[in-house]
Amino acid sequence: MGVYSNDNLEGLDYRGNDIYSPFYFNEEDFMKAGKVTILTALVLTTALATLGFQKERPPAGEAFLTAANGFLETLNEEEAKLAVMDYDTPERVAWHFIPKDARKGLVVKDMNMKQRRAASQILRAGLSFLGYKKFTDIMKLEGVLHELEKENPGRFPRDTELYYYTIFGKPAKEGKWGVSIEGHHMSLNFVIEDGSVISSTPQVMCSNPTIVPADLAGFEKGARVLDNEETLAFDLVNSLTDEQKKTGLIAEEAPREVRNAGEAQPPQTAAEGILLRTLEDEQKATLRKLILTYTRTMAPEIAAKRLEEIKEAGWGKIKFAWAGATKPGIGHYYKVQGPTFIIEFVNTQPDAAGNPASHIHCLWRDMRGDFAIAVEKK
């Protein structure tokens, strides 16, 4: 085990690997991501080790440039009108994860196979291996909802192909341009400038249901797309002492939704809750693992940049706050906030089968400004 203190939170796994490195690969985490079979996990783990995992992949900015231009080459004039917008258009900061009648961009449903393969490379460019699996599983959950709602379909269709890709500006080695990938229950937004990713927020991940109730749409019964995002937070809140709960628990009832959903910038309210530096060593480790669950979703250098910015601002300044029930099945919410970021997680809505608090919305936002737009300080 590593040695934990207020400012030195390094830790090693049983193999001596730094568990807080953005390149760290944990087979257990991968197994949780959609209930992958042991054989599949072993094959992939071996393959990734042979390939040096993701250390050999190109930087995200370079990968985005290659993928975006490759995608654009597959489009005709009418398709390009949908897929490409000016960088300064208001549509660039218009985002949401709810079902909608229409969205910006070119929808996967209208793409041919060559275009779909090219679009998938854009998605891969900004994500880690585990992140790509997580977001594609979020899309696949639409198939689960389709099956669960067959007898009583809602207004909006449940369709794994209703995800939209948009390029803002002209992808080039110099200058600034952006990418949006969005649909029900997910939103990814990137800005690339002079070959580097300078913004990767808002990052939105959702899951309905929280736990897949049967073998459906390629999932095994019991699969959880967003696992550690919830279970680590439960571990942390339930480890708090009565004295710690006085600051860590901020409300008896969970809010219905994450704040500022669909707005261009995150809420600029002061952080609430218990300070990381006041936690016990094991609690500190759990909170940091929770934060890493979100950062490791992104491409390695994006994750590394986030962690470096957190370190510079001070890990000890991060606060964890909880609202609502401290057990599954009853509405609950948490937020983790530091000078550079905020995580919000809410699980209050029922799933399609009516199970209470089985519908997760969670996100990572930049407290200094999403979409590479600095927040105006009041």
Instruction: Note the pLDDT tens digit of each residue in 291-309.
Output: 999 999 999 999 999 999 9
Is residue 45 assigned to a domain?
no
The reply to whether 223 and 202 lie within a common domain is no
Percent of the chain scoring above 70 in pLDDT: 85
The reply to whether 143 and 264 lie within a common domain is no
Percent of the chain scoring above 90 in pLDDT: 82
Mean pLDDT for 196-225 is 97
Contacts of 23-27 spanning 24+ positions with Cβ under 8 A: 23/53, 23/54, 23/55, 23/300, 24/296, 25/53, 25/129, 25/130
CB 76 within 8 A of CB 84: no
Looking at residue 261, what is its pLDDT?
A: 98
Q: pLDDT band for position 55 (50/70/90)?
A: low
Q: Return the minimum-mean-pLDDT range out of 20-24, 227-231, 326-330.
A: 20-24
- Containing 49, the helix (H) or strand (E) segment is helix 38-50
**Domain that residue 165 falls in:** 60-206
Q: Bigger pLDDT: 351 or 2? A: 351
pTM for this model (two decimals): 0.88
The reply to whether 231 and 367 lie within a common domain is yes
Is residue 29 assigned to a domain?
no
Cα dihedral sign, 72-122-336-229: positive
Count, residues in the chain: 378
Is residue 55 assigned to a domain?
no
The reply to whether 178 and 237 lie within a common domain is no
Domain boundary among 146, 172, 206: 206
Q: Return the minimum-mean-pLDDT range out of 40-44, 241-245, 274-278.
A: 40-44
What's the structural domain count of the chain? Answer: 2
* One-letter identity of residue 78: E
State the DSSP code for 97.
-
Residue 46 pLDDT > 70, yes or no?
Answer: no
The reply to whether 320 and 230 lie within a common domain is yes
Is residue 109 assigned to a domain?
yes
State the DSSP code for 18.
B
Q: pLDDT band for position 39 (50/70/90)?
A: very low
The reply to whether 188 and 224 lie within a common domain is no
Residue 23 pLDDT > 70, yes or no?
Answer: no
Residue 53 pLDDT > 80, yes or no?
Answer: no
Is residue 309 assigned to a domain?
yes
Work out the number of other CB atoms within 10 angstroms of the CB of residue 2.
14
The reply to whether 87 and 115 lie within a common domain is yes
Q: pLDDT band for position 376 (50/70/90)?
A: confident
